[in-house]
């Protein structure tokens, strides 16, 4: 896949990446936040623990898939992404491993929606559809331009509570008392990620494994 380069991401996610980038620079220059209550919070931002700046993007992408359990749009919908996904960031790293895992999930979801090849079906039509889909999701350009913006956008939009990405941004400094804890604590976010992943597995993977 090579390095990602400039990709479109929601503004919320762009803010989070920029915040981590700033905090890394501050750490390097030994800056400390001045409006800070030492007794109440941890001293250095927990977000510094992300190995790479792209990690939150990958997490947001999976959250979007687990939450919506929907297939990606066809290429024509790119215009919609252009108008809805306003942020962007340049990453000089690759995410090959996670792209492969993501595409495996997408394949399972596609089989869940379209079924396994069946003896009674026209196998030629089925193969053509399947290959078209796999060709599309394995295309690097499509992955960068459609898949990443589409699914990260889904992780930034919540109707009843603050979005996962927004809460992740707040998880840098977290208090130690129960009343101070919000849904932004790392332990809560990790639990939420695992729950969403479990639901996806239950609804998609496990059901397919039984067929």
List residues binding another protein (CB under 8 A): 26, 29-34, 36, 38, 42-43, 46-47, 49-51, 55, 58-59, 62, 97-98, 100-101, 103-105, 107-108, 111, 116-118, 123-124, 126-128, 130-131, 134-135, 138, 171, 174, 176-178, 181, 185-187, 189-191, 193-194, 197, 201, 205-206, 208-209, 211
Nearer to another protein, 24 or 81 (CB): 24
**Least Å from the CB of residue 155 to another protein:** 13
**Least Å from the CB of residue 77 to another protein:** 23
Nearer to another protein, 15 or 81 (CB): 15
CA pair distance 119, 123, nearest whole angstrom:
7
Say which residues have a Cβ less than 8 Å from residue 189's Cβ, sequence separation at least 6.
164, 167, 168, 171, 183
Say which residues have a Cβ less than 8 Å from residue 3's Cβ, sequence separation at least 6.
91, 92, 93, 94
**Least Å from the CB of residue 83 to another protein:** 29
Nearer to another protein, 41 or 81 (CB): 41
Nearer to another protein, 58 or 85 (CB): 58
Q: How far apart are the first and last CA of the chain?
A: 33
**Least Å from the CB of residue 94 to another protein:** 13
* 81 within 8 A of 153, measured Cβ to Cβ: yes
**Least Å from the CB of residue 182 to another protein:** 13
Of 148, 143, 146, 152, which Cα lies nearest the Cα of 12?
A: 152
What are residue 87's DSSP bridge partners? 9
CA pair distance 109, 70, nearest whole angstrom:
8
Nearer to another protein, 86 or 191 (CB): 191
What are the backbone angles phi and psi of residue 7, rounded to the nearest 5°? -125, 155
């Amino acid at each position: 896949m090579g390095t990602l380069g400039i990709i479109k991401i929601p503004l919320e996610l762009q803010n989070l990446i920029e915040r981590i980038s700033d905090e890394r620079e501050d750490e390097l220059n030994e800056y400390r936040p001045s409006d800070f209550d030492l007794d109440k919070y941890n001293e250095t931002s927990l977000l510094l623990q992300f190995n790479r700046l792209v990690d939150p993007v990958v997490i947001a992408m999976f959250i979007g898939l687990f939450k919506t359990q929907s297939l990606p749009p066809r290429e024509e919908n790119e215009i919609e992404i252009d108008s809805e996904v306003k942020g962007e960031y340049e990453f000089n790293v690759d995410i090959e491993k996670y792209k492969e895992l993501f595409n495996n999930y997408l394949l399972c979801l596609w089989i869940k929606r379209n079924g396994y090849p069946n003896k009674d079906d026209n196998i030629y039509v089925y193969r053509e559809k399947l290959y078209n889909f796999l060709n599309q999701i394995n295309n690097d350009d499509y992955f960068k331009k459609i898949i990443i913006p589409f699914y990260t956008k889904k992780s930034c939009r919540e109707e009843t509570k603050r979005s996962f990405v927004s809460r992740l941004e707040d998880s840098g400094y977290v208090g130690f008392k129960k009343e101070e804890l919000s849904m932004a604590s790392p332990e809560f976010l990790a639990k939420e990620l695992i729950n969403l992943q479990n639901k996806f597995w239950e609804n998609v993977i496990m059901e397919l494994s039984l067929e």
